[in-house]
Amino acid sequence: MHDVLIIGAGLAGLSAARELTKRNIPWHILEASGSVGGRVATDEVDGFLLDRGFQILLDAYPEARQILDYGELNLRPFHAGAKIWLGDKFTTVSNPLEHPQHALSTLFAPIGSLSDKFAMLTLRSMLNRSSLDDIFERRERTTSEYLKNFGFSERIKERFFTPFLGGVFLDSKLDTSSRMFEFVFKMFASGKATLPAAGMGRIPRQMALQLDSSRIRLNSPVASLEENDGAGVVRLASGETLRAKAVIIATNWHTASHLISTMPTASRPAFQAPKSRSTTCLYFAADTAPFAEPMLVLNGTGRGLVNNICVPSNVAPLYAPKGQALVSASVIGSPQTDDETLVAAVRKEMTAYFGAEVQSWRHLRTYHIEHALPDQTPPALAPPERLARLTNALFMAGDHRTTGSIQGALVSGRHTAEAVAALLS
Ligand SMILES: Cc1cc2nc3c(=O)[nH]c(=O)nc-3n(C[C@H](O)[C@H](O)[C@H](O)COP(=O)(O)OP(=O)(O)OC[C@H]3O[C@@H](n4cnc5c(N)ncnc54)[C@H](O)[C@@H]3O)c2cc1C
């Protein structure tokens, strides 16, 4: 009989294993794929580093600060601001405190009124003064309603908040919980958006290197679950059966729901999986970057497929071979077209932004990520974190138990390990 079996080596599973190690509780991870990290992964293609979907690490995440060695990750910061495409030109907005040289242009950027810019400063300072506990106690509503009540105009919502937050939440209607909005905005305001120098995949790799690798079984998908005589019974797709005093389901919500459905009805715990938010990310190789700044480009027009564009190699040069640039274009959702048509449509849109040079860019790869984030429409974060323990021996961890983020996955993994430790003691 094992002490603890963890299903899934995403950030939540790795964080649970880390906490159990600290407490001298033996564990084993069963991971379906051939590598650790789950949704946080980087592929190397022709010398380019392609994160599986555009993603960033906010260095202010409190749990990430505790767990990760930022120095070893060699975090490369984004410029705090964005270039916003208005249909015929770009306008640049920056954090005036970090980039005072852009303060005036930001103040007069045609993305909202002066009162919007002051509301932005008020929001920032209010969130700087709020603790995370304060944020998760405030009334939950949709982000869209929250921004309206805060006094922001429709114009700044369309030109800035919708593409910016839409890209973060994968939700262009801004139905996502206002608690998630305040949390994310506070993280952006109190730290930097970054990329590890050698790709997002270095994050789980660093965590895995601190664990006993002989306890991580890759290519070992779990097919079904059961609870028997107070113990968890895990059946692998290979037919092997394992028993443990505690089983942590650390897969995404979609697989968790499937695994729970394999349990006999009498012992099956209640679990309501959220809907999924999806995204599509296209990567291109360019001879020269279309702009030089380490900045995000947002589509402020309210039209088109592309929500945001990034040149990761402007932020972290190792993302592209010397003398070339890597460009990513992110689309919210899953367009119902074949890949060739999608590449052509995205290329055409980007040609309007950057000119004819886009035609010479080489398409590298397109990622379709169906279960990218849990839908966090209210009351998703009330309570701010779901209970870790489902039954006597069954526990659940993952970003869908709290905020759909790197921070959420890391915290949920630790909290679940703490609940398991309480059971085993
Ligand atoms: C495109 C994209 C962009 C994102 N951008 C950001 C961002 O900028 N900032 C941020 O904070 N967060 C971002 N996120 C969210 C963040 O990546 C996730 O919240 C976090 O990685 C979730 O980790 P997890 O461990 O909960 O789940 P997962 O990463 O989904 O891990 C689950 C693990 O379980 C394994 N598994 C599944 N089924 C089985 C089975 N049957 N048996 C065994 N193992 C199984 C999977 O292979 C996987 O390794 C983004 C996510 C995506 C997809």
372-425 per-position pLDDT tens digit: 999 999 999 999 999 889 999 999 999 999 999 999 999 999 999 999 999 998
DSSP 120-185: HHHHHHHHHH--HHHHHHSPP-BHHHHHHHHT--HHHIIIIIHHHHHHHHT-TT--SBHHHHHHHH
Residue 28 belongs to domain with CATH number: 3.50.50.60
Specify the ligand 1 atom closest to the Cα of 330: 1
The amino acid present at 88, given as its one-letter code, is D
Domain span including residue 295: 42-76+276-374
Using CA positions, which residue lies closest to atom 51 of ligand 1?
Answer: 372
Q: Are residues 47 and 33 in the same domain?
A: no
Kindly report, residue by residue over 314-370, the tens digit of the pLDDT.
999 999 999 999 999 999 999 999 999 999 999 999 999 999 999 999 999 999 999
pLDDT of residue 97: 59
pLDDT of residue 3: 96
- CA dihedral (316, 319, 324, 329) positive or negative: negative
Q: Which of 155, 190, 225 is the last residue of a domain?
A: 190
pLDDT of residue 371: 98
Q: Is residue 22 part of a domain?
A: yes
pLDDT of residue 106: 66
How many domains in the chain? 3
Query: How many whole angstroms separate alpha carbon 325 and alpha carbon 314?
Result: 8
pLDDT of residue 201: 98
Q: Is residue 36 part of a domain?
A: yes
Q: Is residue 121 part of a domain?
A: yes
pLDDT of residue 264: 93
Q: Is residue 160 part of a domain?
A: yes
Ligand 1 centre from 141 Cα, in Å?
25
Q: Is residue 103 part of a domain?
A: no
Query: How many whole angstroms separate alpha carbon 179 and alpha carbon 169?
Result: 12
Ligand 1 centre from 185 Cα, in Å?
21
Specify the ligand 1 atom closest to the Cα of 397: 26
* pLDDT beyond 70 at 118: yes
Ligand 1 centre from 153 Cα, in Å?
34
Query: How many whole angstroms separate alpha carbon 70 and alpha carbon 80?
Result: 19
Query: How many whole angstroms separate alpha carbon 212 and alpha carbon 28?
Result: 9
Ligand 1 centre from 323 Cα, in Å?
32
Q: Is residue 99 part of a domain?
A: no
Kindly report, residue by residue over 67-112, the tens digit of the pLDDT.
999 999 999 999 988 999 999 999 988 765 566 566 556 666 677 8
Q: Above pLDDT 90, what percent of the chain?
A: 90
Q: Are residues 137 and 160 in the same domain?
A: yes
Q: Are residues 296 and 237 in the same domain?
A: no
DSSP 172-203: TT--SBHHHHHHHHHHHHHS-EEEETT-TTHH
Task: State how far Cα 325 lies from the chain centre.
Answer: 23
Task: State how far Cα 46 lies from the chain centre.
Answer: 25
Can you read off the two tokens belonging to residue 8? 């899934």
Using CA positions, which residue lies closest to atom 14 of ligand 1?
Answer: 405
Give the mutation target among 55, 195, 367 for probing the ligand 1 site: most ligand atoms within 8 A of CB. Answer: 55
Q: Which of 160, 190, 220 is the last residue of a domain?
A: 190
Q: Is residue 97 part of a domain?
A: no
Query: How many whole angstroms separate alpha carbon 202 and alpha carbon 11?
Result: 12
Specify the ligand 1 atom closest to the Cα of 11: 25
Q: Are residues 255 and 403 in the same domain?
A: yes
Q: Are residues 245 and 263 in the same domain?
A: yes
Q: What is the mean pLDDT of residues 18-31?
A: 98
pLDDT of residue 114: 86
Q: Are residues 322 and 394 in the same domain?
A: no
Q: Is residue 138 part of a domain?
A: yes
Which residues have any ligand 1 atom within 6 Å of their CB? 7-13, 30-33, 38-40, 53, 55-56, 221-222, 250-252, 255, 279, 369, 372-373, 398-399, 404-406, 408-409
Q: Are residues 266 and 280 in the same domain?
A: no
β-pairing, 75-77 vs 81-85, is unpaired
Q: Are residues 125 and 68 in the same domain?
A: no
- Residue 117 — pLDDT band, cuts 50, 70, 90? confident
Q: Are residues 170 and 32 in the same domain?
A: no
Residue 290 belongs to domain with CATH number: 3.90.660.20
Ligand 1 centre from 117 Cα, in Å?
35
pLDDT of residue 102: 66
Statement: the pTM of the whole predicted model exceeds 0.85: yes
Can you read off the two tokens belonging to residue 308? 């945001």
Q: Are residues 392 and 267 in the same domain?
A: yes
Contact 80, 294 (CB under 8 A): no
Q: Are residues 270 and 393 in the same domain?
A: yes
Give the mutation target among 251, 308, 415 for probing the ligand 1 site: most ligand atoms within 8 A of CB. Answer: 251
Specify the ligand 1 atom closest to the Cα of 406: 11
Q: Which of 150, 169, 190 is the last residue of a domain?
A: 190
Using CA positions, which residue lies closest to atom 15 of ligand 1?
Answer: 405
